Structure 1
Amino acid sequence: MLVAIVALLVAGTGMVLIPRDSGTPPAPSSSETARMTALEDTLRLGDAAAALMEASAPNAGNESLNDTVTLLTTHARALLDPAGSLSFPPSSSPSDSSRAAFISGLSESGQKRLEDARDADGGIARLLAAVGSAQLLRAEKLAAAWQLPTPHQSPSSDNNIPAATPSAAPCPSVSPTPDPGSATTDAALAAAVRSHQKAVYAYQVALKRLDAAAAAVAAKDLKMHELLLQQAEALTRANCADVPTSEAGYRLPGQFAQDPAGSLGALEASSLPVLGDLVALSTGQSREWAVDGLLAAARRSLAWGSSLPALPGLELDAGNLPSLPTPSDSAASSGR
């Protein structure tokens, strides 16, 4: 009876009855859950690295651990919510605090971040891809420094040329040329194509200037860039966009002749923001290709002697990131 009366009042007066807010916050999105999980894992790994430092004898590889603590702290600060607050207490360090266990946990965290980056929202996807790539590569570096087995990693799809997926609607007969300054999937794909076009040219030039051992590595990387260029072009066509035409030559840095190996490292490093943009601006097959490509480019950059930023694929000043809340901050927040 009451329901019928309410219905008559709504129909007769045009009033809309809004239920009282229950006070229950909405469930976090899958992207937000991925961010929070990444933050929790990173904080736990940071505590584990700090515990390893305390348990180690002086000068027993502590420099690598100190750098790792700094890296994980930067990752945690980047993964904080915009308010810079923690919505959960940090997890305790694992009972197994061996170096092998730490490397395994760091590698697993990196792989999980890369997996989540494939489906997360744009900005969070780029952040997760950057964190995941850096953590995986740091695990590899620590394994080499400590003479431990390299952690097992899931197979990458780098060597599979993506097929041109048919669009729901046919591509227009004339596709617009993407504006290089616009933040679109087309523009990001075009930038990726141009990046690999320049890389192919640079590696061809470098082959004539490197010693035999370095030239053998460069020859393999050249073939990879030729393959990646084909992949980028295929993805561009599948996205109904025009493939940028290659140029006859590209301007190389002045130090290229004196230090071709270092210049190749800088070239690989310069491609990281391009791939980060593509991660953020694409979905599906293009996103997966960009996530895999970001890790591979970061690995090639390190192999040629370039230093890797804490968040490869992101251009930001770590000094501008929010600071991690202290235990007293968390206690005060929970007491309010």
Structure 2
Amino acid sequence: MLVSVVALLVVGTGMVLIPRDSGTPPARSFSENARLAALEDTLLLRDTAAALADASGLDAAKPAAADAVTLLTTHARALLDPAGLLPTSPAAASPTDPVSSASSAKASLFVTELSRSGQQRLDDARGSDGGMARLLAAVGSAQLLSAEKLAAAWKLPEPSRPTTSRVPVSPPAAGSCPSAGPTPDPDSATTDTALASLVRAQHEAVYVYQVAVKRLGASSVSAAARDLEVHEVVLRQAEDLTRVNCGDVPAGEAGYRLPAKFAKDPAAALADLESSSLPRFGDLVALSADGTRDWAIDGLLAASRRSAAWGAGLPALPGLELDAGDLPSLPTPSAASSPTSSSR
């Protein structure tokens, strides 16, 4: 009966039904291609870091290289697909091949490639779906900061830093925001709620830094004064973006409670303050698009850098709140089935 109905529809409408080719896989999305590229790069970098950690003649580089292996292993685990499969397409040979390079060149090329990978992840985050954008922004920020840390530890030139000076678009003219429509649930995750959270955090940061400038030792005052100016700019930009998104701008409070450890160790309190902003930037990356997302990605990287500069231990995935122990383990494919398997 069903066949007869379909036949009548085809004859009556003039349409031709072409059976789907079940053997042709659907085209991969931009987000999936970005994930696969990130996983392949990360596995190659992990192999190279492992070789650096094991290489003779690089004793000074071994501890930092071992840390890089741990970081990149976490990134690879986070980038696995739900089935836990590794890429099966051939990967290019590592540009930091430990056999063909001199010792100093190996380390230098590794730092360059790690920085390049980090920048590519941030670029791909700008056009990916929400959750994947947040993951790629976290991976990219961590890899860029790791490259900078390794360059300093190995006394190499610092990798070029990406530009993080994107300015939000101008706020809308008066009356241009839609006045109708229901008010979002305050407990729901939206661009507006993420921006409101960031505005409140920046109000608090400005207050705490204003106090810190008066309490810190002479060696840290200039850094605190510089970061205070940064937070004042970030606050204005977050307020502008809230207006662009037609949200209500939260007002600042008259004062804020100083962190518990502030009296004893203001620098450590500033490190904690910067770290606490990372999930807020991560939320905005996932919940926004276009210029707002660009600004959030830049903000995540900048806040991660400030956090590390004040002595915080940077998480493997800044902006993501998760336990690395909950991530899937990397499978161990045979060398023949996957050229990206670990050399360790």
TM-score, with length taken from structure 2: 0.87
Following superposition, the deviation at residue 13 of structure 1 comes to 10
Answer yes or no: is the 8 Å Cα contact 1:175–1:241 preserved in 2.
no
Query: How far off is 1:96 after superposition?
Result: 4.5
> What displacement does 1:325 show?
1.1
Paired position in structure 1 for 2:202: 196
In structure 2, the residue matched to 1:240 is: 246
Q: 2:326, 2:90 → 1: CA distance?
A: 23
Flag the 1:95–1:251 CA change in 2: closer, same or farther, 3 A.
closer
Letter in 2 for 1:323: S
Structure-2 change in CA distance of 1:204 and 1:179 (3 Å): farther
Corresponding residue of 2:63: 63
> What corresponds to 1:258 in structure 2?
264
Question: What is the CA distance between 1:156 and its match in structure 2?
Answer: 1.8
2:217 aligned residue (198, 211, 226): 211
**Superposition pairs of residues 69-108 of structure 1, within 5 angstroms:** 69-89=69-89, 91=91, 92-94=93-95, 96-97=97-98, 98-108=106-116
Corresponding residue number in structure 1 for 2:141:
133
Deviations 1:198-256 (A, max 9, x none): 10011011112101121111000000000000000000000000000111111222211
CA separation in 2, counterparts of 1:176 and 1:220?
41
* Counterpart AA for 2:24: T
Q: Distance in 2 between matches of 1:48 and 1:108?
A: 15
1:227 pairs with 2:239: no
Output the amino acid matched with 2:177: C
| Percent identical | 65
**Paired position in structure 2 for 1:150:** 158
AA partner of residue 130 (structure 1): A
Moved more, 12-21 or 179-188: 12-21
The CA distance in 1 between the partners of 2:184 and 2:12, in whole Å, is 54
Contact 2:167 2:295 in 1 (8 A): no
Conserved? CA contact 1:44–1:90, under 8 Å = no
CA pair 165-249 structure 1, distance change in 2 beyond 3 A: closer
Pair 1:19–1:174, CA change in 2 (3 A):
closer
RMSD of aligned residue pairs (Cα, Å): 2.6
The answer on whether the counterparts of 1:177 and 1:242 sit within 8 Å (CA) in structure 2 is no
Q: Is the 8 A contact 2:88 2:337 kept in 1?
A: no
1:23 is displaced (CA, Å) by 1.1
List aligned pairs for 1:4-43, cutoff 5 A.
10-11=10-11, 17=17, 19-43=19-43
Local SS of the residue matching 2:261: helix
Q: Does 1:269 align with 2:270?
A: no
Name stretches of at least 5 consecutive residues in structure 2 with no aligned partner. 1-5, 99-105, 339-344
Aligned CA distance change for structure 1 residues 250 and 90 (closer, same or farther; 3 Å):
farther
Q: Give the Cα–Cα distance (whole angstroms) in 2 for the partners of residues 195 and 179 of structure 1.
A: 20
Report the CA distance between 1:83 and its aligned residue: 1.2
Per-residue CA deviation, residues 298-336 of structure 1 (Å, 9 max, x unaligned), is 00000101100000000011111111110249959xxxx
Distance in 1, matches of 2:182 and 2:207, equals: 27
Moved more, 79-88 or 114-123: 79-88
Note if contact 1:193-1:229 (Cα within 8 Å) is conserved in structure 2: yes
The answer for the alignment partner of 2:102 in structure 1 is none
Number of corresponding residues: 324
Q: Which residue of 1 aligns with 2:341?
A: none
Scaled by the length of structure 1, the TM-score of the pair is 0.89
| AA matched with 1:80 | L
AA aligned to 1:81 is D
1:51 offset after TM fit, Å? 1.2
The residue type equivalent to 2:189 in the other structure is A
The residue that corresponds to 2:46 in the other structure is 46
Task: Report which structure shows greater RCO (CA 8 Å, sep ≥6).
Answer: 2
Could you tell me how far 1:118 is from its partner in structure 2?
1.0
Tell me how far 1:179 sits from its aligned partner: 4.6
Deviations 1:116-173 (A, max 9, x none): 111111000000000000000000000000100001133222xx54232549x93134
Q: Return 220-229 or 175-184, whichever deviates more.
A: 175-184
Contact 2:134 2:285 in 1 (8 A): yes
Flag the 1:263–1:180 CA change in 2: closer, same or farther, 3 A.
farther
Q: Which amino acid aligns with 2:76?
A: A
- Structure 1 residues without counterparts, runs of 5 or longer: 1-5
Partner of 1:287: 293
Q: Which residue of 1 aligns with 2:170?
A: 164
Q: What do residues 250-297 of structure 1 show as CA deviations (whole Å, max 9, x unaligned)?
A: 122221111110000000000000000000000011100000000000
Give a deviation string over 1:175-213, Cα, whole Å, max 9, x none: 876555311000011011111111001101111210112
